[in-house]
Amino acid sequence: MEQKIEELKSGIKVHYVKTKQFKTNIGAIFITTPLKKETVTQNALIPAVLRRGTQKHANQEEISKELENMYGASFDVGVEKMGDNQIIKLYIETINDNFLPEKENILQKSIQILFEVAFLPMIENGAFKEEYVNGEKQNLKQIIESKIDNKDQYALNRCIEIMYPEEPYGIYKYGYVEELDKIDANNLYEQYSKLIQTSKIDIFISGDFEIAEVREIISQNEQFKNLQERTAEYIVNNEQTAIKQKAQKVNIQEEKRDVTQGKLVIGMDVLENKADSRFAISIYNTILGDSANSKLFQNVREKANLAYSTRSSYIRQKNNVFIRCGIDIPNYEKALQIIKEQLEDMKQGKFSEEELQSAKKYIISSIKTVQEEQDASVIYYLGQELSGYNISFEEYEEKIQKVNKAQVEEIANKTIMNSIYFLRN
Amino acid sequence: MQIVENLSVKEKVYIDKLENGLTVMVIPKKETQKKYVIWGTNYGSVDNEFIVPGEKEITKVPNGIAHFLEHKMFEQPDGTNSLDTLTALGVNANAYTTNDHTAYLFECTDNFYEALDELMDYVQHPYFTDENVQKEQGIIGQEIMMYDDYPSWKVYLNALQAMYKKNPIRIDITGTIDTISKINKELLYKCYSTFYHPSNMVMVLCGDFEPEKIVQEIKKRLLKKESQSEIKRIYPTEPEEINQKVITENMEVSIPLFVIGYKMPEEAEQTEERKIIKHIAIEILLNILIGKSSELYQKLYEKGLLLSEPDLSFDFSKSYAYIMITGQSNNPEEVEKEWKKQVEKYKTNGISEEEFQRVKKTIYGNYVKEYNDVGDIARMFLADYFKGINSFGYLEQYEAVSKDCVEDVLKQYLLEEKEVLSIVKPKV
């Protein structure tokens, strides 16, 4: 699997990911813009309104019928948060032409409908169609309110909010209910027009195809032709840009909700901004809590039997490590104590050469696995694009191999608790 | 060795039944770096009453024991844990338990044979002690509590309880804190020796394999076992009628979750072909009635009664079969009412040729998409095997499904008296 990138227009890149491994092709458009409290809700609403209808397919039913006739192409829209950016995504997956019962050019059709939904929305009186905007406002309201439904995810989001109270990363990707009232078909269309003129746009085509053919389909596409050259505004996020101050004291917060099991989340800052420190931090995170061999799994689960699920994860865009576990509520102090002991052991270098090697194998195997999953590989390449860091899978592997124990220990000593959040009843 | 080829997805499966009764299936994939192995036994959460081959008495075991056994298989006499050993090899290992099977698996890009050694070693060597059983009661207790906080799990389980009076499918796979406290090492050994016989198991491998060679490697690693006669499984006689029309539960959710379910006759004796055709027809039917392009979905979405397209599923095994439509709505009762109206309308007017052809194309695309990932492929062949199906059958039989088949399943299975509603509502 290899990626070729072409900036067909300034600020608009096409990523060709050629692979023969899948039965499917994926086409995706990512529109990236800095996360801001004032625009987050509008931006979250935009893809949902786009999905409702285009100038060629007036409503969802028509779009869906078109997709079904393309052997059930899957079409998805949504928003994501990656570092300090909000990303609007549109995504289509179709059967590769080699596996169709009859010969057809589905690839071309799929790229066309993708561009149509993204850039040729249904317009009435110079604005989005009001009915669609109002309907989607209702839906988005419910989506925002449903953030309490998944308690594990809710606990993580709350911890992030506590750590970043006034900063973009603390913003919820779907926005805020109070902002919805201010939105109408006119101002939403204005925001959309601004977005598609100024944002960074990345187009991905993944699968078995000829680059020349796809380049031709895209550059001849009417909607693509209408896009202007731009100096794309977005935030480059990586371990070098996410600079942290040591927290004065650990922020401890407890919240009561209707849960059976307590959800504990610990947010930590990594105070290290050297280039390529992500590799040592990944290894630190794996030894600490990302695999079944990790200190958390072994000690919190296997030895103390306090949890079924316990792990840590590394968010490299923000230089954070989050620890999460689900525990019996009265075991809070006990679990916290054991977790602190693990962090201390990491600082003192109490992990073996074996643990280091096993963590390396684990990371290298996951990175190889990314190439085996078509959608995961697209997201991986997008992540690289937005962190301004494009390296091949082989280089990634080399850099992981080079990390030594002293470097991991150094990271452990620079990884400082910022917040502890506990969701309980 | 039997070879079955499918021309639509251009893949082959090699099937070998070994002397000791173990079935091995290999689906070679040349282009991939990832190798996936899954070893499953036809033993799940519903198998709580059975006669051990050679015995006369019925054995009854506590609910949740198949899942408990799955957790405990990783433990080794020398104090190590096979999950750790596999992880240290850079291999991603896991296991899971469903209603009708338990499976142990790993995927890897390197160290394949070392990992295969470990997998085949630990699945063939149970090691249970009073102490390690007690330890697991704590961990699984937390797993049970974690599921208690998932409204989507609750609404699903309640739907099964609304449909079934007796069938153990209505019981949580994990059991309860109370039932797992009754599990001990003797019971675990008994279940192991009954259900983990090679003749009750299948191994599926997908990745860059030479079928002949890998089967030899598997044979080398298999322990000798006496042949075993059939395990007599006892399932309570399930009445045809549903248990309860509506089950409502309150949880802290922002918007109600619902399942509309239909209990179907089990039809254990039907042929493989009949199972597949019925399955495809049901998938087409549900998509025509309430799928993304349907008139009903469009209407419910525009009225704000559905947030997104509902999840449509049909599941079956030897002892059960049911349909579920799962979604989120501010007014599940209204969704149910509209749904029933649509069902009646289609029963009267029939299905149009255009919608039938269009939705059928979609179903074809969905089947082809199943062949992207080595893990998805292997898990699919395993799960289908325990249902008496070769997965390629769906692509082979696809053409044979006619509009009449779809109208037949509509009239035969979407019956008012077999319908249930499960709702999880917000707490007031």
Q: What is the ipTM for the molecules in this complex?
A: 0.86
DSSP B14-30: EEEE-TTS-EEEEEE-T
- Chain B touched by A102 (CB under 8 Å): no
The pLDDT of residue B226 is 87
The answer to whether residue B170 is domain-embedded is: yes
Domain final residue pick, B200, B233, B266: B233
How many residues in chain A? 425
The answer to whether residue B240 is domain-embedded is: no
The answer to whether residue B286 is domain-embedded is: yes
Domain identity same for B212 and B357: no
- Chain B touched by A137 (CB under 8 Å): no
DSSP state of B227: -
Return d(Cα A14, Cα B27) in angstroms, integer: 35
Question: Closest approach of chain B CAs to the CA of A49, in angstroms?
Answer: 12
Of B342, B361, B360, nearest to B403 (Cα)? Answer: B360
Q: Where are the beta strands (DSSP E) in A261-399?
A: 262-270, 307-315, 320-327
Provide the number of structural domains found in chain B: 2
Q: Which of B5, B55, B57, B70 is catalytic?
A: B70
The pLDDT of residue B25 is 98
Structural domain including B370 reads 246-426
If you measure CA to CA, which chain B residue comes closest to A376?
Answer: B373
Return d(Cα A177, Cα A172) in angstroms, integer: 11
Q: Can you state the angle between helices A106-119 and A211-220, rounded to 10 degrees? A: 40
Domain identity same for B117 and B50: yes
Return d(Cα A267, Cα A322) in angstroms, integer: 5
DSSP state of A97: G
Domain identity same for B274 and B222: no
Reading the block at residue A326, the tokens are: 């689900």
How many residues in chain B? 428
Domain identity same for B217 and B328: no
Rg, chain A, Cα only: 23
Helical (H) or strand (E) element with A94: strand A85-95
Would the CB atoms of A261 and B142 count as touching at under 8 Å? yes
Domain identity same for B109 and B174: yes
**Mutation for testing the B interface, residue in A23, A76, A363, A401 having most B CBs under 10 Å:** A23
Domain identity same for B252 and B221: no
Would the CB atoms of A23 and B301 count as touching at under 8 Å? no
Return d(Cα B12, Cα B100) in angstroms, integer: 26
Return d(Cα A56, Cα A73) in angstroms, integer: 18
- Chain A touched by B250 (CB under 8 Å): no
The pLDDT of residue A2 is 83
The answer to whether residue B238 is domain-embedded is: no
Would the CB atoms of B90 and A358 count as touching at under 8 Å? yes
Would the CB atoms of A372 and B139 count as touching at under 8 Å? no
Pairing of β A12-18 and β A307-315: unpaired
* A345 contacts: CB under 8 Å, gap ≥ 6: A295, A351
Q: What is the 3 state secondary structure string of B244-282?
A: CCEEEEEECCCCCEEEEEEECCCCCCCCHHHHHHHHHHH
Asked if residues B282 and B308 have their Cβ atoms less than 8 Å apart, the reply is no
Tens of pLDDT along chain B (428 residues)?
Answer: 999 999 999 999 999 999 999 999 999 999 899 999 999 999 999 999 999 999 999 999 999 999 999 999 999 999 889 999 999 998 999 999 999 999 999 999 999 999 999 999 999 999 999 999 998 998 998 899 888 889 999 999 999 999 999 999 999 999 999 999 999 999 999 999 999 999 999 999 999 999 999 999 999 999 988 888 999 999 999 999 999 999 999 998 999 999 999 999 987 778 999 999 999 999 999 999 999 999 999 999 999 999 899 999 999 988 899 999 999 999 999 999 999 999 999 999 999 999 999 999 999 999 999 999 999 999 999 999 999 999 999 999 999 999 999 999 999 999 999 999 999 999 87
Return d(Cα B414, Cα B297) in angstroms, integer: 18
- Chain B touched by A248 (CB under 8 Å): no
DSSP A387-402: TT----HHHHHHHHHH
If you measure CA to CA, which chain B residue comes closest to A327?
Answer: B142
Residue A306: left if φ>0, alpha if ψ -120 to 50, beta else—which one? alpha
Torsion of CA B266, B271, B277, B280, to 10 degrees: 50
Would the CB atoms of A371 and B362 count as touching at under 8 Å? no
- CA distances to A137, B19, B57, B228, B230 from B54, in Å: 65, 21, 10, 9, 9
Return d(Cα A287, Cα A280) in angstroms, integer: 11
- Chain A touched by B177 (CB under 8 Å): no
Would the CB atoms of A21 and B89 count as touching at under 8 Å? no
**Mutation for testing the A interface, residue in B6, B208, B362 having most A CBs under 10 Å:** B362
Asked if residues B167 and B271 have their Cβ atoms less than 8 Å apart, the reply is no
Domain final residue pick, B233, B254, B277: B233
- Chain A touched by B185 (CB under 8 Å): no
Domain identity same for B269 and B146: no
Asked if residues A381 and A17 have their Cβ atoms less than 8 Å apart, the reply is yes
List the single residue in B108, B365, B372 with the smallest CB-CB distance to A22: B372
The pLDDT of residue A292 is 87
Domain identity same for B328 and B213: no
* B contact residues 220-239, partner A, Cβ 8 Å cutoff: none
List the single residue in A64, A138, A261 with the smallest CB-CB distance to B146: A261
If you measure CA to CA, which chain A residue comes closest to B93?
Answer: A292
Return d(Cα A218, Cα A199) in angstroms, integer: 18
Domain identity same for B25 and B54: yes
If you measure CA to CA, which chain B residue comes closest to A149?
Answer: B253
- Chain B touched by A22 (CB under 8 Å): yes
Domain identity same for B138 and B217: yes
- Chain A touched by B176 (CB under 8 Å): no
Question: Closest approach of chain B CAs to the CA of A5, in angstroms?
Answer: 23
Torsion of CA B65, B68, B70, B75, to 10 degrees: -130
- Give the residue carrying structure tokens 């620079």: A414
Q: Which residues of B touch A72 (CB under 8 A)?
A: 361-366
List the single residue in A71, A147, A372 with the smallest CB-CB distance to B33: A372
Q: Which residues of B touch A369 (CB under 8 A)?
A: 34, 92, 107, 109
The pLDDT of residue A102 is 85
CA B157 distance to own-chain centroid = 14
Question: Closest approach of chain A CAs to the CA of B374, in angstroms?
Answer: 9
DSSP B83-122: HHHHHHTT-EEEEEE-SS-EEEEEEESS-HHHHHHHHHHH
Would the CB atoms of B362 and A354 count as touching at under 8 Å? no
* Residue B57, amino acid: E
Domain identity same for B131 and B184: yes
* A contact residues 256-295, partner B, Cβ 8 Å cutoff: 257-261, 291-293
Angle at B123 between CA B117 and CA B127, to 5 degrees: 115
DSSP state of B208: S
- Chain A touched by B352 (CB under 8 Å): no
Q: What is the CATH number of the domain that holds B368?
A: 3.30.830.10
Reading the block at residue A340, the tokens are: 């602190």
The answer to whether residue B239 is domain-embedded is: no
Would the CB atoms of B89 and A372 count as touching at under 8 Å? no
**Mutation for testing the A interface, residue in B139, B173, B300 having most A CBs under 10 Å:** B139
Rounded to 5 degrees, φ, ψ at B371 are -100, 25
Question: Low-confidence residues of chain A, pLDDT below 50?
Answer: none
Sheet-wide strand order for B257-263: B246-251, B419-426, B257-263, B321-328, B311-316
The answer to whether residue B207 is domain-embedded is: yes
- Chain B touched by A310 (CB under 8 Å): no
The answer to whether residue B241 is domain-embedded is: no
List the single residue in A21, A308, A365 with the smallest CB-CB distance to B146: A308
If you measure CA to CA, which chain A residue comes closest to B297?
Answer: A61
Cβ–Cβ pairs < 8 A, chains A and B: 177
Domain final residue pick, B212, B233, B254: B233
- CA distances to B124, B170, B335 from B118, in Å: 10, 35, 51
The pLDDT of residue B270 is 86
Question: Closest approach of chain B CAs to the CA of A335, in angstroms?
Answer: 13
Return d(Cα A197, Cα A350) in angstroms, integer: 53
* pTM of the entire predicted model: 0.91
The answer to whether residue B367 is domain-embedded is: yes
Helices within A53-129 (DSSP H only) = 60-69, 106-119
Would the CB atoms of A257 and B252 count as touching at under 8 Å? yes
Would the CB atoms of A309 and B146 count as touching at under 8 Å? yes
Domain identity same for B261 and B396: yes
- Chain A touched by B208 (CB under 8 Å): no
Q: Which residues of A touch B9 (CB under 8 A)?
A: 23, 99
Is B302 tagged catalytic?
no
Sign of dihedral through CA atoms B425, B426, B427, B428? Answer: negative
